[in-house]
Structure 1
Amino acid sequence: MRLTERYRQVRLEAVRFTESRRAQRVGKLLLGPNVNDGYVAKTVIIVLLSVIAFLYLKPIIYMVSTSVKSLEDLIDPVVGLIPRSVHSQNYIDAWKGLRYPEAFTNTFIIAFFGSLFQVFSCALTGYALARLRFPGKSLFFVLILITFLVPPEITIIPLYMIFNKLGWLNTPLVFLVPAILGQGMRGALFIIIFRQFFLSQPKALEEAAKMDGASVFRLFFRIMMPLAGSACLVVFLFSFVWYWNMHFEPSMFLSKDFIPLSLRLNELSTELLGNKSLSLSVAVGKDPVSEGPKMAAAFLIILPPLLVYFIAQRWFTEGIERTGLVE
C-alpha cells in the first residue's frame, strides 16, 4: 500500500511539473520573455495600428468612393462606400471645371520653384546661424522665431499693400520672391531645421577646409551643402506640400489670371452646375449633384503630392531621422 501511495504521489508531482512547464511555454509564447514580444502584445499592436490606419485612410477612401458614384448612388442611403457602378463622368467634369492643365501648371510653378528657392535660402541662413560669428546673431535667431509664431493673418494686409505697390498681385512673384529671401511658407521652421543639422556636423571638416584656403561660400557649397542632402529633401517635400495645399494666401493675392488648384476647387460647383443644385441640396442636407465632381476634383488635387511622397518615401524617412525631427 505504501508503495502504491508513493507511486501515486510521484506520478502526481510529475503531472504537476509537466503542466507547469507547459504553462510556462504557453506563457512565453503568448506574452514573450519581455511581455511585448509575445503573440498577445503583437496582436494588440497590429489591431491598434490597423484602427489608426483606417481612421487616417477613411477620408481618402470616402473621397475615392464618392468620386466614382453616380447621382443615383449618392442619393440612395443604402449605398455605402462601394458604389453599384463606376461613374467616370465625375472626373471629366472635375477636369473641365478645374481647368486642370492650366491650374496644375500654376500650382506647380509656385510649389516647385518656391520650394527650390526656399531650400537654398533657408540652408544658407541656417548655416550662418549655426557656424558663423557676427554681431546680433542671437537677436536674428529670436526674430526668426517670432516670425514663426506670428499668424499669417496678422501680416496679410501689410503684405497686400506692399505687393500691390510693386505690381506683383496675381503673379507668382508674391510667393517666389519671399521664398528667395527665406520668408516663404514656413520659412522660419526650415531655417531652424537647417541650423540644427549644421550644428550636429563636426567642426573638423570646416577647420580642414579653412586650412586648405577655402572661403566661407566655397566651404558651404562644396562641403556642407552636399552633406545636407537629407535635410534639403525634408525641407523640399514639406515646403512643396504646404505650397501645393495653401489656400488663404492665394485667395488674397491671386484673384485672377494666375489661379492655382486650391482656388479652382471653390469655383468648381458654380462653374459646372450653376444654381440648379439648390433644390436638391435643401432636400437631402448636402449637394448630391456636385458631390461627385467635387470629390473627384479633390482627389485630382492631392494626387501629385501623394505621388511625390510615394517616390521619395525612403529618402524622406532617412532625412527625418538624420535631421533630428523625430526627437
Structure 2
Amino acid sequence: MVGRTLLDRVRLMLFGDRERKGMIALLILYLVLADIAFMYLTPFLYMLSTMFKTTADLLDPTVKWIPSAFQSDNLKLAWQGLRFPEALQNSLIIAGLSAVGQVVFCSIAGYAFARLKFPGKNILFALLVFSFLIPPQTLIIPLYVLFKNLGLLGTHWGVILPAMLGHGIRGALFVIIFRQFFMTLPRELEDAALIDGAGPFRVYWRVMIPLAKPAILVVFLFSFVWHWNETFVTGMMLGGKDLPLSLSLFNLNKVLSGLYPDAEAGFDLNETIRMAASFLIIMPPLLVYMLAQRWFVEGVERTGLVE
C-alpha cells in the first residue's frame, strides 16, 4: 500500500494531472520556449556583436561573438549615413498617421459589419476577406497611376491616404479584428443606448470605442510596425524623396561615400556599419512594444487572434 502511494506520487510529479503539469511536461515546454527564444534572439545578438566590431574582426575567423576592440564609431557613421533625425521624422509621420487612420476607419467598418444591418452586408464582408488575400504587388500599378493623376507621388500622402481610408497595409485584417471584437460585446449595452435615443454613430463613439481599447492597441501596434518596416509600396510612392528609415538603409553606402570621399576603406562591404544602422532602425518600434507589451498581450487575447 505504501509502495503504491509512493508510485502514485512519483507518477503525479513526473506526468502531472488535469490541474497541474508534471516535470516532464514542464521540461518539454521549457525546451520548446528556449528553442524559440534562441531562434529569435540569435540574429539580434549577432547584430549587437557585429555593430561593435572592426573590419579586421570580420575577417578574423577566431573572432566570433566578442569583438577584439569595441568600435563605437560604427554607430556614428550609421547615424550620419541614415540621416537619422530626418529619416526618423519621416518614419514617425508615415507609420504614426497611417496607424491612427487605420484605427479610426477600420474600427468604424468593423463596427458596421458587427452590429449594423444593411443590404449586401455578407457579400461586402466576403469581398473584404478576399481583398486581404490579394498581394499588394498586383495593385501597385493602378495605385501608382491613380496617385500620379492626383499629384500625390513623391509625398507622404501616397502612403498615408490609403490608410486614412481604412485600406493601407493589412487594412482588411484590421477590419476583421475590430469586427470580431465588437461581436463579443453584450448586445444589451447597445440596446440600452438605443433606448436612450442614441444613434449608430453615437453608440459607436460613446459605448463601443471606450470598450475597444485592447483591439485599438493591437491594431495600432500592428499597423505602426508594418508601416515602419514596409519598403515596397513606400518606395514606389515616394520615389526617392523624404525617405523613412526603412528605405534610408538602401542609400547608406551612397550617403557615407559622399560624406567621406577620401576614406581609405570603402563602405560597400562594411557589414559593421550596416548592423549599426539596422540597430538604429529597429530600436524605436522595439521601445514602443516594450512599453505596451502588457496591454498588447491582453489585447491579443481579447480580440481572438490566438484562436
TM-score (norm 2): 0.92
Counterpart of 1:321 in structure 2 is 301
TM-superposed CA distance for 1:28, in Å, is: 3.8
User: What CA distance in whole angstroms lies between the structure 2 residues aligned with 1:30 and 1:106?
Assistant: 55
1:95 matched to 2:79? The reply is: yes
The one of 211, 217, 227 aligned to 1:227: 211
**Letter of the aligned partner of 1:311 in structure 2?**
L
Where do 1:196-235 residues align within 5 Å?
196-235=180-219
Give the match for residue 162 of structure 2.
178
The CA distance in 2 between the partners of 1:74 and 1:204, in whole Å, is 65
1:68 matched to 2:52? The reply is: yes
Asked if the contact 2:154–2:241 (Cα under 8 Å) also holds between the matched residues in 1, the reply is: yes
Give the TM-score taking structure 1 as reference length.
Answer: 0.87
Identity %: 50
Conserved 8 A contact 1:74-1:288: no
What SS class does the counterpart of residue 127 from structure 1 fall into?
helix
Q: Deviations over 1:21-79 (max 9, x none)?
A: 65554444334456973333322322222122101111111111111111111110111
Larger CA deviation: 221-230 vs 198-207: 198-207
| Match of residue 63 from structure 2 | 79
CA contact (8 A) 1:118 1:179 kept: yes
Deviation at 1:289, TM superposition (A): 4.4
Counterpart in the other structure of 1:194: 178
Give the stretch that moved more between structures: 257-266 or 238-247: 257-266
Alignment partner, residue 131 of structure 1: 115
- Give 1:288 deviation, angstroms: 8.4
**What do residues 79-112 of structure 1 show as CA deviations (whole Å, max 9, x unaligned)?**
1112122211111110000000000000110001
CA RMSD of aligned residues (A): 2.3
Whether the 8 Å contact between 2:253 and 2:268 is mirrored in structure 1 is: no
- Deviation for aligned residue 1:20: 6.2
Pairing partner for 1:296 from 276, 283, 287: 276
Q: What code does the residue aligned with 1:97 have? A: G
Residue in 1 aligned with 2:153?
169
Count of matched residue pairs: 303
| Residue aligning to 1:250 | 234
Among 103, 109, 130, the alignment partner of 2:93 is: 109
Does the 8 A contact of 2:159 with 2:237 survive in 1? Answer: no
**Counterpart for residue 3 of structure 1:** none
| d(CA) in 2 for partners of 1:306, 1:221 | 31
Larger radius of gyration: 1
Structure 1 counterpart of 2:130, from 140, 143, 146: 146
Alpha-carbon separation, structure 1, partners of 2:6 and 2:69: 55
Match of 2:40 among 45, 56, 68: 56
Q: Deviations over 1:173-232 (max 9, x none)?
A: 112211121111110000011111111111111111111111111111000111111101
CA contact (8 A) 1:273 1:290 kept: no
